[in-house]
Amino acid sequence: MRKRYLITFGIVLFILVIDQVIKFWIKTSFAFDDPSVPLIGEWLQLNFVENQGMAFGTQLGGGMWGKLTLSIFRVVMIGAIIYYILKQIKKPDVKLEFLIVSAMVLAGAAGNLFDSMFYDFIFRDYFDPCISYNQVEGSGIFSECSYFGYTEMVEVRHRGFLFGNVVDMFQFNVIWPSWVPWLGGGQVFPAIWNVADFAISCGMILVLLRQKIYFPKEKTSKE
């Protein structure tokens, strides 16, 4: 059982470290308006953005309450996932692969939550109210921005614990062929993502594909 604990939470720590190291590097090395940097040919690029939402920029409402609700939801879900994993580890017939997959989902959720919890404190000097991802209509918090000599007041997001933006950086640059109906010429997957998003997605996909292996039905004896 000790081996299961070490492997499961070792994978969580490993993914978290990779996720945060890349985010710190992106945050301190790139600017919002920097051009995309090719990683693997032209189809995988670095494109620094920040968002207030979930995986791939999905948001839960808008403004302060949407962000706060999302962050609290993350905390509750992470607690539930940890509780579930601890229960599964104690089962004698649990598959190690399932524990690894669960660890991927937990690490991904925790990685994005870390951004929301602490990045507004760690990167205080990087907050720029004139950048679009720091502006939230209806927040009630105003800041002065100057554009080419023209000054205007803009509404900016709340800052602090649980309000930080999530840092994203990877983007697939793959275009649908022009002959594909409705989609031709558009990007196959336009969302920009990070290691945490990737871990969550891979974990959930594996659970769906291998659920019969992870959750085998108990054979009932015929009377």
Is 34 a residue of the active site?
Answer: no
| Catalytic-labelled residue, pool 19, 115, 120, 197 | 197
How far apart (Å, rounded) are the C-alpha atoms in residues 211 and 223? 28
| Catalytic-labelled residue, pool 19, 115, 120, 168 | 168
How far apart (Å, rounded) are the C-alpha atoms in residues 78 and 113? 9
Upper half-sphere CA count for residue 134 (Cβ side, 13 Å): 17
Return the C-alpha torsion angle 195, 8, 204, 116, nearest 10: -50
Residue type at 121? F
Total residues belonging to the chain: 223
Is 168 a residue of the active site?
Answer: yes
Provide the sign of the torsion angle of the four alpha carbons 40, 12, 85, 69, taken in this order: negative
How far apart (Å, rounded) are the C-alpha atoms in residues 153 and 51? 21
Q: Phi/psi of residue 174, each to 5°?
A: -120, 125
Count of other CB atoms within 10 angstroms of residue 152: 11
Residues with a catalytic annotation lie at 168, 197
